[in-house]
Amino acid sequence: MIVLGIETSCDETSAAVVKDGEEILSNVVATQIPFHAPWSGVVPEIASRKHIEWIYEVTKQALDNSGLDVKDIDAVAATSRPGLLGSLLVGLTFAKTFAWSRNLPFTAVDHMLAHLYAPRMAADDKPEYPFLGLLVSGGHTIICRAGGFDDITVLGTTIDDAVGEAFDKVAKHYNFGYPGGAVIDRMANDGDSEAFRFTIPSLHKGDHRYDVSYSGLKNAVINQLEMFKVKKGAHTNEDIAASFQKTAVEILLRALLNAAKDTGLSTIVAGGGVAANSYLRSRLAEHTHLRCIFPPLDLCADNAAMIAGIGYHYLIRGDRSSFDTVPSARVNGFKKKYP
Ligand code: KG4
Ligand code: ZN
């Protein structure tokens, strides 16, 4: 089955053609970064407008790159949640219109479940369910048990900011550049991660054993830097980046390792923009008793291949979304349920 995937949940306009859920025939991602960079963050109004401007050309390019004709598309999948409402509306409406006009089956899919599915599209030996999922992006930080492509149980989340958001806010405050995560990752290579010692929030007990918190770290790095200085003398921006990144990753690791230990799940599958982080990857690789699967960098960031990929599994099961499907900015299921 050949599925056309459409992704417009945030600031990437993307279309992809994927065969049988795994073989990526094309994956076109048009990034809006230069248009949001002057504001050091995504401006929702600009994002929606760019999606409207680009979605047709991006889809045409994806079809051309796949070597297929529009007649070869068997079904359409699009992101409907979570994300920026105006942005989601563009891709969702475009995809529904495409499906309706060609009389094709259509499915709306969840962006975060697609992030968790993405590594499967590239892995040589596919991780068997169940595994531990680590979903880390600009809006979410989720540690979950994945029992199937559409079956996750949230074990832990952030109790305040998402990890990617902390990277972005620190970068914005210090004018490091945009988007923050990738810039801090690069700068940290030339910095001393011991220059500042930020504290790790004590969330390791009871109900919060798998939860994380980033607002304290963000505040410490932005407003209380001097208090956490360990090494005397001048410090560089690279030192701030390295010390922040180290703590941000340690916070994540502590919750994740708690979950691995308690659940006995030894395969970890990571997804989302922050899964591109080199320090996170190298720190997890040290835990040799765990099998850690990260997507290649192009499948970490937002892309439509993962949307077509997961969409295929709904479609072959016979699931269809109706043409009155509406987008939603949030997904309640991604919040942890406390007893
Ligand atoms: O999944 P994604 O592309 O969009 C959302 O669904 O949010 O994730 C974007 C997030 C941003 O916060 C960005 O700063 C972060 O991923 N990010 C990184 C890296 N590359 C992107 N964070 C840390 N290290 C990176 N190398
Ligand atoms: Zn994403």
Same domain, 93 and 145: no
Q: Residue 233's pLDDT is what?
A: 80
What is the extent of the structural domain holding 164?
A: 129-296
CB 46 within 8 A of CB 32: yes
CA of 313 to the centre of ligand 1 (A): 26
Is residue 329 domain-resident?
no
pLDDT, tens digit, 9 for 90 and up, residues 229-283: 997 788 999 999 999 999 999 999 999 999 999 999 999 999 999 999 999 999 9
Same domain, 191 and 292: yes
CA of 92 to the centre of ligand 1 (A): 22
Is residue 147 domain-resident?
yes
Q: What is the DSSP string of 206-244?
A: GGGTT-B--HHHHHHHHH-GGGGB-S-S---HHHHHHHH
CATH number at residue 288: 3.30.420.40
Same domain, 160 and 64: no
Answer whether 321 contacts ligand 1 (Cβ < 6 A). no
Q: What are the residues facing 16 on neighbouring strands?
A: 5, 27
Is residue 338 domain-resident?
no
As a whole number of angstroms, the longest Cα–Cα distance in the chain is 68
Q: Which residue reads 């990571």 in tokens?
A: 270
Same domain, 162 and 242: yes
Q: Is the peptide bond before 38 cis (omega within 30 degrees of 0)?
A: no
For 249, the 3-state DSSP assignment is helix
42 secondary structure, DSSP code: -
Same domain, 222 and 306: no
Residue 40 burial (CB < 10 Å; 0-12/13-18/19+)? middle
Q: Which residue has the CA at smallest separation from atom 2 of ligand 1?
A: 273
pLDDT, tens digit, 9 for 90 and up, residues 93-137: 999 999 999 999 999 999 999 999 999 998 787 899 999 999 999
For 265, the 3-state DSSP assignment is coil
Supply the mean pLDDT for the chain. 95
Ligand 1: which of 116, 135, 167, 282 to mutate, judged by most atoms within 8 Å of the beta carbon?
Answer: 167
Confidence of residue 206 (pLDDT cuts 50, 70, 90): confident
Is residue 81 domain-resident?
yes
Same domain, 136 and 110: no
Helical residues (DSSP H) of the chain, grouped into ranges: 33-36, 44-66, 85-102, 111-117, 163-173, 180-188, 215-223, 237-263, 278-285, 297-300, 305-316
CA of 224 to the centre of ligand 2 (A): 30
Answer whether 295 contacts ligand 1 (Cβ < 6 A). no
Read off the pTM: 0.95
Q: CA-to-CA distance for 51 and 99, rounded, in angstroms?
A: 18
Q: Which residue reads 């006009």 in tokens?
A: 101
Is residue 123 domain-resident?
no
Number of structural domains in the chain: 2
Q: How far is CA 185 from CA 38, 267, 277, 294, in A?
A: 20, 25, 6, 16
> Residue 2: is its pLDDT beyond 80?
yes
Q: CA-to-CA distance for 338 and 66, rounded, in angstroms?
A: 46
Is residue 219 domain-resident?
yes
Confidence of residue 338 (pLDDT cuts 50, 70, 90): low
Is residue 282 domain-resident?
yes
Give the atom of ligand 1 at the shortest distance from the alpha carbon of 168.
Answer: 14
Confidence of residue 339 (pLDDT cuts 50, 70, 90): low
Is residue 29 domain-resident?
yes
Same domain, 236 and 310: no
The amino acid occupying position 201 is P
HEC secondary structure over 26-39: EEEEEECHHHHHHH
Confidence of residue 50 (pLDDT cuts 50, 70, 90): very high
CA of 107 to the centre of ligand 2 (A): 18
Same domain, 35 and 174: no
Same domain, 16 and 163: no
Same domain, 292 and 305: no
Same domain, 149 and 277: yes
Percent of the chain with pLDDT over 70: 98
Answer whether 277 contacts ligand 1 (Cβ < 6 A). yes
Same domain, 133 and 204: yes
